[in-house]
């Protein structure tokens, strides 16, 4: 852990009257820094919080946004709950796989993309909805996906859409 | 009647997320009135008299929830539940991303009313942009003296902290939320003690939904009596309904409570031409289905309860006959199976079993005995769990067997989906 990262985590820890509250924000911070929660990150969080590895793992494993395995540089989440599935989220996932070779649970060879079907993103009126690195994209179509993926490959930033 | 915009009155004004535009639309007038002209008790009374009910799903009267805080001198805490994730619901999404100042204003008024000097917004982790917008709104509000030390020159101080969740539907349950906010797995707590007596860090705590807290603003601005001119006796005021699925203009619409279901569907553009209504999920995936025979039902807490379902969060999913009810019901059950926190055996094991039975039924490999099994399992989950998740998990399934038995029968007669829908992923 860099001194800067450690300082940021210690500052988070100091913000909470009951120290364990800092664990989740610290895990977010470490994951943002490392891309996913590596074994080292879990141990570092434990050391910062005075918690055992098992206790930290117990929290990490409860939350779907915490990843113990590498993600792509652009992690795509496609909502597959009721309204999104009615509006064709399955076709979006299929398109990502067939047209772009982005398969669920895998990272593309160039390390750029990974995709995951997720539960309700609270964007049912803009279905099918998804996120890239937690930035929303609404009313997805295969064409829109093509444009998005092509742009990201050319170095665009995943800035998302405003509701 | 159609729409009645109170909370969403200025939602489409460009730049409304900034303090200057929000103020030019009358923003923070309610805060000034509450803090400069009213005692905390008077604010509490206004909210109690308005009859405002919790907009997160449970519909508990907000003023009464506040009144449960004990007068024992311990510091009090206000928590805003912004962990929106009930399938079909996206109203808080809109409020947070378009009207962050309305939420901040509602929180400061509410915290003042209950005497809290510390407040938290528990925001679902996926609302990253919402986090940034709220952070900016809070910064602007602090600069202007609407938040922080000596608010509006009074001796009232309030600090609001933003806390990002990390992906878990159950954290919308208020005691699971508190556990998560304390840095643990989000698992519901035993009640009693209720959060009012032992909440965050054991302190007296009120947990209110985003929409509930924003509704406090117009109530303070125009008064409880005015609020009660809208809606029904037991369901006063307006409520945002998130309408999605088979409608031509899906989106968030605000209505007075008691507006008939058919009128809401019409306001959202109605079904696409040539499509026929099959079912409506009125208030998120935790609710039992309604059918075309319920189109006249007034959408309020008591009428929906009488119709065997719930107003819930106001997340309405409209389903036409081209969609397979068995498939969607299975989809909902997979969701509950995935999101069960695992604390209670009936829920943890029951949702797993029901998901497997529904998988069989959807694939056309089921039998009539499976329908009995679904009913039996539903009865053994509902009412037998720590929190309301268990009841929520079985509501859609139980009502699907009641209203759409033919659809299940067609699946096992044909050995597959009559609509030739692909099995769920």
Quick one: three-class SS letters along B293-352? HHCCCECCHHHHHHCCCCCCCCEEEEEECCCCHHHHHHHHHHHHHHHCCCCCHHHHHHHH
- Within-domain flag for B212: yes
Residue B317 burial (C-beta neighbours within 10 Å; 0-12, 13-18, 19+) = buried
H/E run at residue B61: none
Q: What is the CA radius of gyration of chain B?
A: 22
- Within-domain flag for B170: yes
- Please name the member of A80, A82, A125 whose beta carbon is closest to the beta carbon of B285: A82
- Within-domain flag for A106: yes
Q: Are residues A41 and A96 in the same domain?
A: no
Chain A CB within 8 Å of residue B164 CB:
yes
- Within-domain flag for A159: no
Q: What angle do CA A127, B244, A130 make, to 5 degrees?
A: 20
- Please name the member of B244, B252, B281 whose beta carbon is closest to the beta carbon of A127: B244
B201 → chain A, closest CA residue: A18
- Within-domain flag for A66: no
Q: Are residues A78 and A149 in the same domain?
A: yes
pLDDT value of residue B65: 98
Q: Are residues B148 and B264 in the same domain?
A: no
- Within-domain flag for A82: yes
**Which domain covers residue A38, as residue numbers?**
3-60
- Within-domain flag for B223: yes
Q: Do A124 and B250 touch (CB under 8 A)?
A: yes
pLDDT value of residue A103: 93
DSSP lists the bridge partners of residue B382 as none
Q: Which of A18, A23, A49, A62 to mutate to test the interface with B (most CBs of B within 10 A)?
A: A62
Q: Do A124 and B88 touch (CB under 8 A)?
A: yes
Whether the per-residue pLDDT at A146 is higher than 60: the answer is: yes
Q: Do A21 and B181 touch (CB under 8 A)?
A: yes
For residue B323, which residues of chain A lie inside 8 Å, CB to CB? Answer: 86
Residue B405 DSSP symbol: H
Residue B2 burial (C-beta neighbours within 10 Å; 0-12, 13-18, 19+) = exposed
Q: Are residues B250 and B392 in the same domain?
A: no
Do the Cβ atoms of A135 and A160 come closer than 8 Å? yes
Q: Which of B198, B228, B258 is the last residue of a domain?
A: B228
Name the pairing type of β-strands B315-320 and B277-281.
antiparallel
Task: Please name which of B175, B139, B91 lies closest in space to residue A126, comparing C-alpha atoms.
Answer: B91
- Within-domain flag for B123: yes
Q: Do B285 and A59 touch (CB under 8 A)?
A: no
Q: Which of residues 46-105 of B touch A (CB under 8 A)?
A: 84-90, 92-94, 97-98
B250 → chain A, closest CA residue: A125
DSSP lists the bridge partners of residue A62 as none
Q: Do B328 and A86 touch (CB under 8 A)?
A: yes
Q: Which of B303, B320, B337 is the last residue of a domain?
A: B320
**Which domain covers residue B257, as residue numbers?**
238-320
Q: What is the CATH number of the domain that holds B210?
A: 3.40.50.11540
Chain A CB within 8 Å of residue B350 CB:
no
- Within-domain flag for B302: yes
pLDDT in tens, A61-120: 999 999 999 999 999 999 999 999 999 999 999 999 999 999 998 999 999 999 999 999
Q: Which residue is it, tokens 């907000």?
A: B62
pLDDT value of residue B424: 55
pLDDT in tens, A103-122: 998 999 999 999 999 999 99
Q: What is the CATH number of the domain that holds B390?
A: 1.20.1440.230
Bond before A55 cis per omega within 30 degrees: no
The two three-digit tokens of residue B381, written as one number: 């989950």
pLDDT value of residue A33: 97
Q: What is the CA radius of gyration of chain A?
A: 18
Q: Do A59 and B183 touch (CB under 8 A)?
A: yes
For residue A124, which residues of chain B lie inside 8 Å, CB to CB? Answer: 87-90, 242, 244-245, 250, 315, 317
Q: How many domains does chain B have?
A: 3
Q: Do A125 and B90 touch (CB under 8 A)?
A: yes
Q: Which of B166, B167, B317 to mutate to test the interface with A (most CBs of A within 10 A)?
A: B166
- Within-domain flag for B425: no
Q: How far is A107 from B410, CA to CA, in rounded Å?
A: 41
Q: How far is A72 from A113, CA to CA, in rounded Å?
A: 4
Q: How many residues does chain B have?
A: 425
Give the number of A-B residue pairs with CB atoms closer than 8 Å.
152
pLDDT in tens, B140-189: 999 999 999 999 999 999 999 999 999 999 999 999 999 999 999 999 99
ipTM over 0.90: yes
Task: Please name which of A112, A79, A73, A107 lies closest in space to residue A93, comparing C-alpha atoms.
Answer: A79
Q: How far is A101 from A114, CA to CA, in rounded Å?
A: 10
- Within-domain flag for A161: no
Do the Cβ atoms of A26 and A13 come closer than 8 Å? yes
- Within-domain flag for B270: yes
Q: How many domains does chain A have?
A: 2
Least confident of A15-24, A143-152, B151-160: A15-24
- Within-domain flag for A67: no
Q: Which of B87, B240, B341 to mutate to test the interface with A (most CBs of A within 10 A)?
A: B87
Q: How many residues does chain A have?
A: 163
Chain A CB within 8 Å of residue B395 CB:
no
C-alpha distance from B86 to closest chain A C-alpha (Å): 7
Q: Do B317 and A83 touch (CB under 8 A)?
A: yes
Chain A CB within 8 Å of residue B199 CB:
no
- Within-domain flag for B10: no
Q: Are residues A140 and A89 in the same domain?
A: yes
Digits of tens for pLDDT over chain B (425 positions)? 589 999 999 999 999 999 999 999 999 999 999 999 999 999 999 999 999 999 999 999 999 999 999 999 999 999 999 999 999 999 999 999 999 999 999 999 999 999 999 999 999 999 999 999 999 999 999 999 999 999 999 999 999 999 999 999 999 999 999 999 999 999 999 999 999 999 999 999 999 999 999 999 999 999 999 999 999 999 999 999 999 999 999 999 999 999 999 999 999 999 999 999 999 999 999 999 999 999 999 999 999 999 999 999 999 999 999 999 999 999 999 999 999 999 999 999 999 999 999 999 999 999 999 999 999 999 999 999 999 999 999 999 999 999 999 999 999 999 999 987 665 54
pLDDT value of residue B423: 57
- Please name the member of B128, B186, B250 whose beta carbon is closest to the beta carbon of A134: B128
Do the Cβ atoms of B318 and B283 come closer than 8 Å? no
Q: Are residues B151 and B100 in the same domain?
A: yes
Q: What is the CATH number of the domain that holds A127?
A: 3.40.30.10
Q: Are residues B406 and B351 in the same domain?
A: yes
Q: Do B425 and A93 touch (CB under 8 A)?
A: yes
Q: Which of B177, B208, B228 is the last residue of a domain?
A: B228
Q: Which of A97, A124, A135 to mutate to test the interface with B (most CBs of B within 10 A)?
A: A124
């Amino acid at each position: 852990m860099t001194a800067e990262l450690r300082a940021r985590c210690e500052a988070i820890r100091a913000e909470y009257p009951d120290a364990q509250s800092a664990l989740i924000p610290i895990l977010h911070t470490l994951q943002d820094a490392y891309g996913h929660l590596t074994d080292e990150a879990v141990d570092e969080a434990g050391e910062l919080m005075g918690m055992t590895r098992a206790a930290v793992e117990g929290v990490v494993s409860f939350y779907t946004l915490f990843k113990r395995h590498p993600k792509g540089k652009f992690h795509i989440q496609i909502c597959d709950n009721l309204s999104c599935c009615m509006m064709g989220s399955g076709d979006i996932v299929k398109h990502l796989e067939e047209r772009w070779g982005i398969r669920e649970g895998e990272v593309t060879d160039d390390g750029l993309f990974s995709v995951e079907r997720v539960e309700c993103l609270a964007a049912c009126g803009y279905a099918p909805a998804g996120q890239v690195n937690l930035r929303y994209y609404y009313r997805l179509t295969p064409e829109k996906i093509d444009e998005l993926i092509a742009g990201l490959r050319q170095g665009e930033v995943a800035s998302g859409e405003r509701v | 009647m159609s729409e009645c915009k109170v909370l969403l009155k200025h939602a489409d004004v460009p730049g409304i997320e900034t303090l200057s535009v929000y103020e030019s639309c009358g923003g923070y007038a309610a805060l000034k009135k509450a803090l400069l002209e009213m005692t905390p008790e008077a604010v509490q009374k206004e909210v109690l008299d308005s009859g405002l009910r919790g907009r997160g799903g449970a519909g508990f009267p907000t003023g009464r929830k506040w009144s449960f805080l004990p007068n024992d001198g311990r510091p009090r805490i206000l928590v805003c539940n912004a962990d929106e994730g009930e399938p079909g619901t996206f109203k808080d999404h809109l409020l947070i991303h378009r009207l962050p100042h309305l939420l901040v204003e509602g929180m400061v008024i509410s915290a003042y009313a209950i005497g809290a000097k510390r407040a938290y917004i528990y925001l679902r982790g996926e609302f990253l942009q919402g986090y940034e917008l709220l952070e900016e709104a809070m910064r602007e509000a602090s600069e202007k003296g609407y938040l922080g030390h000596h608010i509006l020159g009074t001796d009232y101080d309030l600090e609001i902290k933003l806390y990002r969740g990390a992906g878990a539907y159950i954290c919308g349950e208020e005691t699971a939320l508190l556990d998560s906010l304390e840095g643990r797995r989000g698992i519901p707590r035993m009640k009693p003690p209720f959060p009012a007596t032992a909440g965050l860090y054991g302190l007296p705590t009120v947990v209110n939904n985003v929409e509930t807290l924003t509704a406090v603003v117009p109530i303070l601005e125009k008064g409880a009596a005015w609020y009660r001119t809208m809606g029904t006796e037991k369901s006063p005021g307006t409520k945002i309904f998130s309408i999605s699925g088979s409608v031509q203009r899906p989106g968030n619409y605000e209505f007075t409570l008691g507006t008939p279901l058919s009128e809401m569907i019409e306001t959202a553009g109605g079904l696409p031409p040539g499509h026929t209504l099959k079912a409506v999920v009125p208030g998120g995936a935790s609710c039992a289905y309604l059918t075309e025979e319920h189109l006249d039902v007034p959408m309020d807490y008591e009428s929906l309860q009488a119709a065997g379902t719930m107003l819930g969060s106001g997340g309405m999913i409209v389903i036409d006959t081209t969609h397979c009810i068995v498939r969607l019901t299975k989809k909902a059950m997979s969701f509950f199976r995935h999101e069960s926190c695992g604390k209670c055996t009936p829920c943890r094991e029951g949702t797993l079993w029901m998901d497997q039975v529904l998988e069989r039924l959807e694939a056309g490999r089921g039998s009539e005995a499976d329908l009995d099994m679904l009913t039996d399992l539903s009865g053994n989950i509902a009412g037998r769990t720590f929190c309301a998740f268990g009841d929520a998990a079985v509501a859609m399934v139980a009502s699907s067997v009641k209203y759409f038995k033919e659809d299940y029968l067609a699946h096992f007669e044909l050995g597959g989906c009559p609509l030739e829908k692909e099995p769920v992923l």
